[in-house]
Amino acid sequence: MYSLSQERPDDLWEVEALYDLCFAPGRTLLSSYRLRDGVPPVAELCRVAKDEAGVIGGVIRYWPIRIGAAQALLLGPVAVHPTAQGEGLGAALIRDTLERARDLEWGRVLLVGDEPYYRRFGFAKIEDVEMPPPTNPERVLALELRPGAWSGVTGTVTRKT
């Protein structure tokens, strides 16, 4: 049984270890990490799933980004411990935080990931919004939390300064 809560400062190393376990070495060299450099994550949307013993089995973080003058959320990284995968924990973390993001009046969410997984949450490939290279455009997916929020938003994603 897992419960979701906001990531706390003393969760940091356990969270980083979980990301290291779940992603290929060199994950921080991905272009999406350049959008996170020196920018604080959105604290209310950085959530962990802890078991009864307080051990973290899943984690999600979000960063603010810009596309021209438009603001958006960058979802991720999201990771679930290999021993807990396939039990709905990833979906629970994603659904919980998207609901919170809507409540916090964010309108747009972007991510780089597998469309076959993320389409169940409403994400779809977005045209004319480019992540910094090298990023496969097929993996750039977007979700509207407010109807029409992505209309007319085009260009290159940049770091929120």
Count the residues of the shown chain that bind ligand COA, applying the rule CB under 6 A: 16
In the complex, the smallest distance separating the C-beta of residue 105 from ligand COA, rounded to whole angstroms, is 25
79 makes contact with ligand COA (CB under 6 A): yes
Q: Pick out residues in 14-33 that bind ligand COA (CB under 6 A).
A: 22-23
Query: 74, 46 in Cβ contact below 8 A?
Result: no
d(CA 20, CA 13): 10
88 makes contact with ligand COA (CB under 6 A): yes
Chain-centroid distance of CA 90 in Å reads: 11
Those residues whose C-beta lies under 8 Å from the C-beta of residue 108, and which sit 6 or more positions away, are 70, 71, 72, 73, 142, 143, 144, 145, 146, 149, 150, 153
Near ligand COA by CB under 6 A, which window of 1-9, 85-93, 102-110, 122-130?
Answer: 85-93
Question: By beta-carbon distance, which residue lies closest to ligand COA?
Answer: 90
Which residues lie near ligand COA (CB under 6 A)? 22-23, 78-80, 85-91, 113-114, 116-117
